Amino acid sequence: MLTPRRFYGVNGHNNEGGAYDISSPAVQLAQLQDLGVKYYRNEVYSPGTATKLANIAAMMDAGGVTVYPVLLMDYRLFANETQAYNAGFALGQQTATSRRYPYYEVTNEIEAEALNGNVDGVYPQQYDTGTFRIVRGIIRGMIAGIKSVDTSGKIILGGGTWLHYGFAQMLAAGMEPDGSINHPIVDWDVTAWHWYSEQGDITNACGGTGCHNVLQALKAFGKPIWLNEIGVRPNYGSDQAIAAYLTGNTMMAQFVALASTYDIESIQTYELYDDPVGGEGNYGLLKNDGVTPKAAYSAYKNFVAAHPM
Domain boundaries, the chain: 8-231+264-273
Sequence-separated contacts (24+) of 254-263 with Cβ below 8 Å: 254/201, 254/202, 254/203, 255/202, 255/227, 255/230, 256/307, 256/309, 258/203, 258/215, 259/7, 259/309, 261/215, 262/215, 262/216, 262/218, 262/219, 262/225, 263/219, 263/223, 263/224, 263/225
Q: Other C-beta atoms within 10 Å of 257: how many?
A: 12
| Confidence at residue 83, expressed as pLDDT on a 0 to 100 scale | 98
Distance CA 97, CA 104 (A): 12
3-state DSSP of the chain: CCCCCCCEEEECCCCCCCHHHHCCHHHHHHHHHHHCCCEEEEEECCHHHHHHHHHHHHHHHHCCCEEEEEECCCHHHCCCHHHHHHHHHHHHHHHHHHCCCCEEEECCCHHHHHECCCCCCCCHHHECHHHHHHHHHHHHHHHHHHHCCCCCCEEEEEEEECCCHHHHHHHHHCCCCCCCCCCCCCCCCEEEEEEEHHHCCCCCEEECCEEECHHHHHHCCCCCEEEEEEECCHHHCCHHHHHHHHCCCCCHHHHHHCHHHHCEEEEEECCCECCCCCCCCCCCCECCCCCCECHHHHHHHHHHHHCCC
| Confidence at residue 1, expressed as pLDDT on a 0 to 100 scale | 35
| Confidence at residue 137, expressed as pLDDT on a 0 to 100 scale | 98
CATH hierarchy code of domain 8-231+264-273: 3.20.20.80
Distance CA 288, CA 277 (A): 9
Asked if residue 264 lies in contact with residue 215, where contact means CB atoms within 8 angstroms, the answer is yes
Left (φ > 0), alpha (ψ -120 to 50) or beta: where does 230 sit? beta
Give me the tens of pLDDT residue by residue for the chain, a chain 309 residues long: 334 468 999 999 999 999 999 999 999 999 999 999 999 999 999 999 999 999 999 999 999 999 999 999 999 999 999 999 999 999 999 999 999 999 999 999 999 999 999 999 999 999 999 999 999 999 999 999 999 999 999 999 999 999 999 999 999 999 999 999 999 999 999 999 999 999 999 999 999 999 999 999 999 999 999 999 999 999 999 999 999 999 999 999 999 999 999 999 999 999 999 999 889 999 999 999 999 999 999 999 999 999 999
Question: The dihedral of CA 182, 186, 189, 192: what is its sign?
Answer: negative
pTM of the complete model: 0.96
